[in-house]
Amino acid sequence: MSGTSVALSTSSCYPEGVASAFEQAARLGYDGVEVMVWREPATQDVDALRDLVQTHQVPVLSVHAPTLLLTQRVWGRQPWGKVDRSVEMAQALGAPVIVVHPPFRWQTRYARGFVDGVAARQRETDVKISIENMFPWKARAQDDGRAVKERAAYLPHWNPVPLDYANVTLDLSHAGISGLDALAAARALGPRLAHVHLTDSTGSNRDEHLVPGRGTQPCAELLAELGPLGFTGSVAVEVTTRRLTPQEREEALAGSLTFARQHLGARTP
Counting beta carbons within 10 angstroms of the beta carbon of residue 156, is it exposed (0 to 12), middle (13 to 18) or buried (19 or more)?
middle
Mean pLDDT of the residues in the chain? 94
- Omega of the bond leading into 156 within 30 degrees of 0 (cis): yes
Strand-pairing partners, residue 131, are 100, 168
CB 18 within 8 A of CB 35: yes
pLDDT tens digits, residue range 204-249? Answer: 989 999 999 999 999 999 999 999 999 999 999 999 999 999 999 9
CA distance 257 to 8: 8
pLDDT tens digits, residue range 90-103? Answer: 999 999 999 999 99
The neighbour count for residue 59, using CB atoms within 10 Å, is: 15
Q: What is the mean pLDDT of the segment spanning 250-263?
A: 97
Dihedral sign for Cα atoms in the order 36, 42, 45, 48: negative
pLDDT tens digits, residue range 14-54? Answer: 999 999 999 999 999 999 999 999 999 999 999 999 999 99
pLDDT tens digits, residue range 124-180? Answer: 999 999 999 999 986 544 555 555 566 789 999 999 999 999 999 999 999 999 999
3-state secondary structure of 97: strand
The total number of residues shown for the chain amounts to 269
What is the phi/psi pair of residue 148, to 5°?
-115, 125
Q: Read off the pTM.
A: 0.94
**Radius of gyration over alpha carbons of the chain, in Å?**
18
Q: Which pLDDT does position 197 carry in this prediction?
A: 98
Strand-pairing partners, residue 130, are 99
pLDDT tens digits, residue range 54-87? Answer: 999 999 999 999 999 999 999 999 999 999 999 9
**Distances from the Cα of 195 to the Cα of 28, 39, 137, 141, angstroms:** 21, 24, 23, 35
Q: Which pLDDT does position 143 carry in this prediction?
A: 55
Domains in the chain: ranges and CATH = 6-263 (3.20.20.150)
Dihedral sign for Cα atoms in the order 61, 197, 82, 49: negative
